[in-house]
Amino acid sequence: MGAHVQVSALRIEAGAKGAEQTIVHDLSFSIAPGEVLALIGESGSGKTTTALAMMAYARSGCRIASGSVRIGDTEVLALDEAGQRALRGRRVAYIAQSAAASFNPSRSIMDQVVEPALIHATATRSDAEAKAVALFRELALPNPDTIGSRYPHQVSGGQLQRLMAAMALITDPELVILDEPTTALDVTTQIEVLRAFRRVVRERRTTAVYVSHDLAVVAQMADHILVLRDGQKRELGATSQILAAPSHDYTQKLLAAARPKVRQSSACVAATAQTPLLEVRQLSAGYGPCDRQGQPKVLILEDINLTLYRGQAIGVIGESGSGKTTLARAIAGLLSPCRGELLLQGQPLPPTLQQRTKEELRRVQIVFQMADTALNPSQTIERILARPLQFYRGLSGEALQRRIRELLDLVKLPMAVAGRLPGGLSGGQKQRVNFARALAAEPDLILCDEITSALDTVVGAAVLDLIAELRRDLGLSYLFISHDLHTVRSVCDEIVVMQHGRKLAQVARADYERGPHHPYYELLARSVPELRQGWLDEQAAAA
């Protein structure tokens, strides 16, 4: 049974002494034993900072300035270092967003799952291993008796996320903190993990804090929702009340951003007699050395055909490993196909960057999923945008500065960001800079690879609106890659469905709501959480 949790007047500050900035403002809330409280809000709202403070932990550069956190009869913030070590992993457990980054690749899964029980002496090795196997069964993991002997790289992302939950639960903690635990998963994997998490939390009556920006997910998991913005409480209420009748205008904004929206563009064109902008013919690609027949060691894509016209947006959907990103990399010239050909406006497009002319490079640009790794952290935004303008357009001086201002204006960023480094920008701002860099080349085609998957709901919706607006104003064409069918439907004229490196189907906008479609398309459609309570139960009943 979980503990009663009481947080009172919690204040967290960042910055040097004398120049502190408050990032969580006198926050108060309580959680009844066995209930789940969701913390929601945009990036920078203080969700994770608040959750970590419940373990008496503050990230580098931050400090818990004042307030109270009580778990049962324990005042957490009054504990010394030894008391904090005894608390963390025993009475309070934390499930991080990225399980892959949290496991040691050199140790077996079982060694790592039982470690908290051995550190806190809650069980012997043999008892801990038996308990771990029981948890593997509870969490619906395959081969529960033997999966512990594997290493992290030998299981899928969804399985690793559930294994992390087993590690958190093995000491029977009173409070479990789940920090965006399904954000990095594709939709079909996410639904499996959500079912497992919710079943275990319900059956064990564990008190839980669920940190997320995804209201549809929160609707399935939480009893109550606390809405945060700029480190302040905007609204707190039962999940049913928040979803049906939110009182704060910011909560209303979050709900509006989370609901599916069609971003139709007048630039949309039908397949006519005009020459296609891009043709992909019988494209196959993979990784590793090729054999004598030119077959790579690992074949990822097989015989992909695709036609995209100027002004069109085509979505490519599928689970992780379906070949979506490999297709984008092959079109961008980052990966040389082993078979097939690419045509750009009827002319052969060389397979690699090194073989393409400057003009061919300019016309096809790619925007990557993670803006953090796509932008040079040591270069200012001005320098990042100046480089393609100098390379493709030969701009300098006032003409260069004017175009940088125009690009920032196009992506709705203030000129003040030009002098900043990427680390000084939010996730949404960095993704807009990513877009501005692609636009600097004045391309015909932009390849968008999961560009909103790492963004919160409001920021992601704003980026999608920007894509539709630029398409309408500039006549851009997009190949939009995602695992989220609702996102793809909102911006694309057609959807290509991929699985195991093959194209299974292609669905036009007019047929989105008409069926029947390919069973895999229907599975993806069913797996996107809906913004209402009870949806997950309905899926479990139908499974």
3-state secondary structure of 101: coil
> Other C-beta atoms within 10 Å of 61: how many?
10
* Tally of CB atoms within 10 A around 175: 24
CB neighbourhood size of 23 (10 A): 21
The string of pLDDT tens digits covering residues 233-278 is 999 999 999 999 999 999 999 998 888 777 765 444 544 448 899 9
Domain 5-105+170-258 matches domain 278-528 at the CATH topology level: yes
Peptide bond into 516 cis (omega under 30): yes
Beta-bridge mates of residue 229 = 232
**What number of CA atoms fall less than 13 Å from residue 171's CA on the CB side?**
27
Helices (H) and strands (E) counted in the chain, each on its own, are: 19, 20
The C-alpha atoms of residue 74 and residue 70 are separated, in whole angstroms, by 5
pLDDT at 120: 97
Which pLDDT score, from 0 to 100, does residue 528 have?
A: 85
Kindly list the domain boundaries of the chain, sorted by start residue.
5-105+170-258, 278-528
Q: Counting beta carbons within 10 angstroms of the beta carbon of residue 343, is it exposed (0 to 12), middle (13 to 18) or buried (19 or more)?
A: middle
Can you give the pTM of this predicted structure? 0.80
Structure tokens at 343: 């045509």
- E strand segments, 358-444: 364-367
- What is the domain class of 5-105+170-258 according to CATH? alpha beta
Question: CB of 177 within 8 A of CB of 92?
Answer: yes
Q: For residue 439, list its beta bridge partners.
A: none
∠ Cα 387 393 398 (to 5°): 75
- Tokens standing for 239? 């999940």
pLDDT at 485: 84
DSSP H or E stretch at residue 35: none
According to DSSP, residue 204 is labeled H
Successive 10-residue mean pLDDT values, the chain, 543 residues: 93 85 95 96 88 93 94 97 96 88 93 97 97 93 94 87 94 94 80 87 92 91 96 96 95 88 58 79 89 80 95 91 91 93 96 95 92 89 97 96 94 90 83 92 94 78 87 91 86 93 91 84 87 87 70
Two structure tokens written together for 188: 């079909």
Q: Write the pLDDT tens digit of every residue in 129-140.
A: 999 999 999 898
Which of the following CATH numbers is that of domain 278-528: 3.30.505.50, 3.40.50.300, 3.20.20.150, 3.40.50.720? 3.40.50.300
Alpha helices (runs of H) in 238-342, residue ranges in sequence order: 239-244, 249-258, 324-332
